[in-house]
Structure 1
């Protein structure tokens, strides 16, 4: 996926039973952030940073949605443990991750594995990708995304 592309209308499981496809979010901007794994240090910090700015995103007509390969049960526990107020998509079959091109080879303990590259997409109210942040460094990222949304509005 690239800037200017329209996102595919995929179906998925999420922590919000009212959100089972991207068309359920039509009319709102979407911050779609992909992260490797629930309850790991970087992913937890990223989730908390988006949590702390959640109201500011809502004021900009923007829904924050996180995506990882964790199970729905894992996501529900992760949300509960860290008071995450936004929706998480469970992408165990990697359908969403593959559509957005975020599955990459990673070197983990001298072994190559396939994993999620931490990436964020800003999607407009019509489902068009407006900005992409690849290879995200967590510190300050949520604020940078919010700043980009405010600058675009």
Structure 2
């Protein structure tokens, strides 16, 4: 089952960097950007994380929290966060519960071989835990600016 725009996101307990267990409901009262990436410390994922890192202050100024998610181990996530100086937490979704809730596990082809992997995707969740917008099959270049623009649309006066 795929989560649809306008639906409340599931409230799963998740392992995050900093030895924390977080729930999506912990972020009620603020917007949440949940970005899924295939693998820590790979070029595209590093660039995407750096772009979110560099815009973290802009998101924070708009009462919007960023969380990165991959299937990597918590240790890999901790190392990735430290190496890239990310100011936001990363979630180690090793059991794929969050990936499945957002339907980001896809069959991918690389060098003629099929494998299951995370499709680079971003989700914008409102202060009440409702899915507002989604980006699937994301291309890294310009993506963070696009997400920030969507947040600005929400905060713009009518």
Fold conserved (TM > 0.5)?
yes
CA displacement at 1:25 relative to structure 2: 1.0
CA displacement at 1:16 relative to structure 2: 3.9
Unaligned runs of 5+ in 2: none
Unaligned runs of 5+ in 1: none
Report the count of equivalent residues.
153
Equivalent residues in 2 for 1:68-87 (5 A)?
Answer: 68-87=70-89
Closer, same or farther in 2 for the Cα pair 1:19/1:145, shift >3 Å? farther
Given candidates 104, 107, 110, the residue that maps to 2:106 is 104
Equivalent pair of 2:18/2:78 in contact (CA under 8 Å): no
Question: In structure 2, what is the Cα distance between the partners aligned to 1:4 and 1:92?
Answer: 27
Residue 158 (structure 2) pairs with residue 126 (structure 1): no
CA displacement at 1:111 relative to structure 2: 1.3
Given candidates 52, 65, 68, the residue that maps to 1:66 is 68
Task: Tell me how large the CA RMSD over aligned residues is.
Answer: 1.0
Equivalent pair of 1:28/1:124 in contact (CA under 8 Å): yes
Partner SS, residue 125 of structure 1:
coil
